[in-house]
Amino acid sequence: MTRNNGEVWLVRDPSFGDCGKAKIVDHLSADPRVAAIVRFNGGDNAGHTIVVNGTKIAVHAIPCGVIRNLEHPVLSVIGRGMVINLTRLFAEMTSLRERGISVIPENLLISEGTHLTLTYHMALEKARETSNSRKNTTSRAISQTYALARLYQGVRAGDLRNLDRMSELIDLPLAYVNAILEKVYGLTAVTKDEVMAEILAYREQLLPFLGNEIIVLNRLLKQEKVIICEGAQSGMLDPDLGIYPNTTASNTWPGAIQSGCGLNPRWITRDVIVVKAFTSRVGDGHLVAEIHNETADLIRQKGQEYGTSTGRPRRIGWNDQVVGRFCAMVGPGTELAITKVDVLTGIEPLRICTDYLLNGRLIEIFPTTVDELNHCQPVLEELNGWTKDITGVTSWNELPLNTQAYLMMVAKPFDCPISMVGTGPDRKQIIVL
């Protein structure tokens, strides 16, 4: 089966997240050929922010298409590779509606194959937060939901259509989680009434949004439309290709779109890799090129580097070319979008991490294990900075020569052309090449 002349565009982050994918998705979605934007992985642990005329709008589980839908019809799709928390999903819908953004079944499709994060998942997450083995997470029970799904104890959105069947499906995972809560953590069990109460509170509202995204998306491709796949999290947080266990719970590379929403990766015609002009990371894991002085504080403040979902301050590092080379090897893209270069104005000198030293030995590719990564030291190359304010610049030729040289250096390991440069938070503050 072919895509019948429609196009699939993928927007993804090869690094550690928070690179500004939403800004790029939003820009691309202005194309009138774009008919749908689909999320295919993760859950509301993502925080995607768009700034429209100075107003910041954040989405977590719902794709960015609901914002562009104010201008032309774009279907937002929550694919079956995602997990959704009913309480948080409907709170997000309410927040968007309060801003005048329509969220209705005509512009939001939720896959009936999407797994649900329920009361007992959250109870297990909270129990882990109190233990010494707690991983630094967003406290959204994302990993617990995926884990129970892989144990064949998941509950999917489509199961809400049959309440009797739903009631039966809950019994096994509820017993499993309660055994852990009581015997491992010494906590009170979750009752079935609590779980069903949450489901019944949202069931009737959810049912009109449910459908089979595979059928809908393939129909759009036959109509020669463009579908944008909006990646969540990032390449180095992939549970298989990242540094396990300091990863996310869902796969993040291009192949994930096939299981996440039923689109063949071979149909991707634009694969946009989004990198930030510097590096940031939130949560656990060694950041090799991390900055530990006032420069990090300055970049964090200027770039507003705080988690959209959690508010946690992000750790700041220099641009990391070792990560870039890994991306070019494992999942090369067709083009590169570089964001937040304006944040680096006035930083002197600038540095880029070109290689890692592991126990004094030069390595050129990203390591596999936590132990190896923890022993890596950065090899840094200095570049001249610039002082001219480039906020809002929309032409490459308006950029200082040092800015241009820096951007070309950032792009070097990816072996694909720069197509966009973000010069500020607003959707209009972008250079298109």
Which amino acids are annotated catalytic? Answer: 18, 48
Looking up tokens 């993928």, which residue turns up? 10
| Positive or negative torsion for Cα 337, 339, 342, 348 | negative
Distance CA 392, CA 385 (A): 18
Q: According to the annotation, is 45 in a ligand binding site? A: yes
Is residue 341 part of an annotated ligand binding site? Answer: yes
**Is 342 marked within a binding site?**
yes
138 is in an annotated binding site: yes
Annotated binding-site residue? 240:
no
Q: Is 130 annotated as a binding residue?
A: no
Q: Is 193 flagged in the annotation as binding?
A: no
The reply, when asked if residue 46 is annotated as ligand binding, is: yes
Q: Which of 170, 183, 131, 140 minimizes the C-alpha distance to 47?
A: 140
Q: Is 311 annotated as a binding residue?
A: yes
Tell whether residue 309 is among the known ligand binding residues: yes
Record the tokens describing residue 114, joined without a space. 């999407």
The reply, when asked if residue 177 is annotated as ligand binding, is no
340 annotated to bind ligand: yes
308 is an annotated ligand-binding site residue: yes
Is 258 marked as binding a ligand? no
248 is in an annotated binding site: yes
Structure tokens at 288: 């090799």
Is residue 249 annotated as involved in ligand binding?
no
Any idea which residue has 């509950």 for tokens?
155
Annotated binding site: 18, 45-49, 138, 233, 248, 308-314, 340-342, 422-424
Annotated binding site for substrate: 308-314
Annotated binding site for Mg(2+): 18, 47
